[in-house]
Amino acid sequence: MTGKRKITGARIFDGIDWHDGCALLIEAGHVKGIVASGASGDAETIDARGLLLVPGFIDLQVNGGGGALLNEEPTLDGIRQICAAHAKFGTTALLPTLITDTREIRTKSIEAGVAARAAAVPGFLGLHLEGPHLSVARKGAHDPALIRPMEDADLTEMLACVNALGSLMVTVAPENTTKEQVRALADAGIVVSLGHTDVGFETACAYAKAGARTVTHLFNAMSGLGHREPGVVGAALATGTLHAGIIADGFHVDPASMGIALRGKRGPAQIFLVTDAMSPIGTDMTSFFLNGREILRKDGRLTLADGTLAGADIDMLSSVRFVHEKLGLPMEEAIRMASAYPADVMGIASHKGRLLPGTDADFVLLTPELGMKSTWIGGERVFAA
Ligand SMILES: [Zn+2]
């Protein structure tokens, strides 16, 4: 961890601008700076000629990977497996995400998250609890029998674990969560995301004022944008303080709607990429189980028996490629959607999401065509293609 390293020869994107003819200097796991290539010193030199060096990807919604699903394996090993699987696709920080489940599984997941933080599992950023305080009307693949209102004990449990976890995001629906609860969560530094909700524009805006910071998988499992009722989608686009995660696999949201949302989003909050990935990522699994229900993997989709989409079969690098190649976004903006913007959502921009002096040396080396070469977390190579 103490080593000085110098990555030379790559085009470097620091999250803001490109740097040509420069080297990335790393010391003790952090970025020391981006310097003219010639300067040498005692650093170990890594030749990255012809490659792109970009900030590591940050995925705020990851249910599983490498064969492990947090709901089914709420353990330290399960989290290790998920983080390692996504590192192969450029993700250097992620929130293992628990889909609505029983109280016991939630408590076990929180304990596993606390253990992962204590063990400094590479890539572990914190947890995302998606549910159970959602709307049955917009349940998606969540088991309606497990959806329920937020009680005092739920709030207490979440407030008690945020510091030990490092970061915590919770997806809630106003139908089963009060504004006062949202305020209490936000005041404690928990990132509240509105999702799986059928409320209208006014209510969504009121919850944003109460402290909600983002919305969960924009367009999916929420009231849509109508001409007289702008819905949660309208609230997310029209409210400058609300960020919005989006799944860029081409199945969850039509590329035309994605383009409209990106052009219509009011800042400074931004639309960012999430994978919503499940256990099969990085494996050849063709099915798996969630709360005892079988989910099938076919042709890039994951579905319940009735055809309901149940998470996504996409990794973060493919998501970046999708918005760059299919939507025509400039490469740097596609990369920001996977790194700088999610860091902003979580309030961790001072150390992750960009490669600036003092930030964590979390980065990815890619070919100019956005092919995978290697992934680095805290200045250490954790994956090489
Ligand atoms: Zn969801």
Structural domains of the chain, with CATH: 4-54+355-384 (2.30.40.10), 57-346 (3.20.20.140)
Residue 191 in contact with residue 126, Cβ under 8 Å?
no
Q: What is the pLDDT of residue 143?
A: 95
Q: What is the pLDDT of residue 1?
A: 46
**Distance between Cα 75 and ligand 1 center (Å):** 21
Q: What is the pLDDT of residue 100?
A: 97
Q: How far apart are CA 222 and CA 44, in angstroms?
A: 50
Edge-first strand order for the sheet with 380-384 is: 18-19, 11-13, 52-55, 363-366, 372-377, 380-384
Tell me: is residue 310 an annotated ligand-binding position.
yes
Q: How far apart are CA 207 and CA 198, in angstroms?
A: 13
Tell me: is residue 243 an annotated ligand-binding position.
no
Tell me: is residue 86 an annotated ligand-binding position.
no
Q: How far apart are CA 203 and CA 303, in angstroms?
A: 30
Helical H segments across the chain, by residue range: 76-87, 103-118, 152-165, 179-187, 201-209, 231-238, 255-264, 316-321, 331-338, 340-346
Could you identify the residue written with the tokens 């981006």? Answer: 34
Q: What is the pLDDT of residue 89?
A: 98
Tell me: is residue 217 an annotated ligand-binding position.
yes
Residue 87 in contact with residue 122, Cβ under 8 Å?
yes
**Distance between Cα 310 and ligand 1 center (Å):** 8
Q: What is the pLDDT of residue 291?
A: 87
Tell me: is residue 19 an annotated ligand-binding position.
no
276 noted as active-site residue: yes
**Distance between Cα 356 and ligand 1 center (Å):** 33
Q: What is the pLDDT of residue 42?
A: 79
- Amino acid 158 reads M
**Distance between Cα 153 and ligand 1 center (Å):** 23
Could you identify the residue written with the tokens 């919503």? Answer: 276
Of 59, 276, 360, 362, catalytic? 276
Tell me: is residue 305 an annotated ligand-binding position.
no
**Distance between Cα 130 and ligand 1 center (Å):** 7
Q: What is the pLDDT of residue 113?
A: 98
Q: How many helices (H) and strands (E) does the chain have?
A: 10, 24
Helical H segments across 269-381, by residue range: 316-321, 331-338, 340-346
| CB within 8 Å of 149: residues ≥ 6 apart | 133, 176, 177
The rounded radius of gyration (Å) of the Cα atoms in the chain is 20
Q: What is the pLDDT of residue 3?
A: 79
Tell me: is residue 10 an annotated ligand-binding position.
no
Structure-token pair, residue 125:
């950023």
**Distance between Cα 137 and ligand 1 center (Å):** 13
pLDDT < 70 regions, the chain: 1-2, 39-40
List the one residue out of 122, 220, 113 whose CA is nearest residue 168: 113
Tell me: is residue 133 an annotated ligand-binding position.
no
Q: What is the pLDDT of residue 39?
A: 62
| CB within 8 Å of 269: residues ≥ 6 apart | 213, 214, 239, 240, 241, 242, 243, 244, 344, 345
The phi-psi region of residue 146 (left if phi > 0; otherwise alpha if psi is between -120 and 50; otherwise beta) is: alpha
What predicted TM-score, i.e. pTM, was given to this entire model? Answer: 0.97
Structure-token pair, residue 57:
């990807």
**Distance between Cα 165 and ligand 1 center (Å):** 21
List the one residue out of 73, 182, 179, 198 whose CA is nearest residue 140: 198
**Distance between Cα 337 and ligand 1 center (Å):** 19
Collapsing DSSP to helix, strand or coil, 17 comes out as coil
